[in-house]
Amino acid sequence: MKVLGFIGSPREGGNTEILVEEMLKGAGDVGAETKSFNLDKMAIAPCKACMHCKSNDGECATDDDMQEIYKELKEADAFVLGSPIYMWQMTAQAKLFTDRLYALFMTGFEEKYGKKDMALVFTQGNPDENTFEGYYNSTRDMFGFLGYNVVDMLSSQDNNAPGAVNDKKDVLEKARAIGKKLVKAD
């Protein structure tokens, strides 16, 4: 069992990274091999809508760090995507990653590699847990449409300083529990 973590925050060591890593620890606690990727440190270009992937068995024509991610996703059983909320949506780093998953959509990926389980993690400074609920739900639905099984979703609000989530033991425990759940969902 292999679980990947994708960190969509440009802030190294911030709340999003802490929660993604906590989920990976949970997966590791029940025997999964884990690996994380800081999307901000990777060269990922936007999707060019060239449609090369649709006539070439899901192979993306853009030669960048996303090629490594495609390889890892094919080998993984599950993954976590984490992002802080910027301007009412995921960060540009997380969106680039998400858009480039299009190469795997409707190319026989699920039949070849199995349906992938995943979890979503969102962090926000806003103290109201319901402010971005519509966005969270539409993101979950979009991943479902792409063929992923969203096992769970976690949002942590009122994070007005880097590392603030470390003081929220209940949120850290929930993150670890979701990581374990990803392994058991397989």
Q: What are the tens digits of pLDDT across the range 44-101?
A: 999 999 999 989 988 999 999 999 999 999 999 999 999 999 999 999 999 999 999 9
What is the residue extent of each domain of the chain? 2-185
Residue type, 146: L
How far is residue 45's CA from residue 43's CA, in Å, rounded to a whole number?
6
Q: What is the mean pLDDT of residues 94-113?
A: 84
Quick one: pLDDT at residue 111? 62
CA angle (31 as vertex; 121, 67 as ends), nearest 5: 55
CATH of domain 2-185: 3.40.50.360
Q: What is the DSSP letter of 18?
A: H
Residue whose token pair is 């973590």: 5
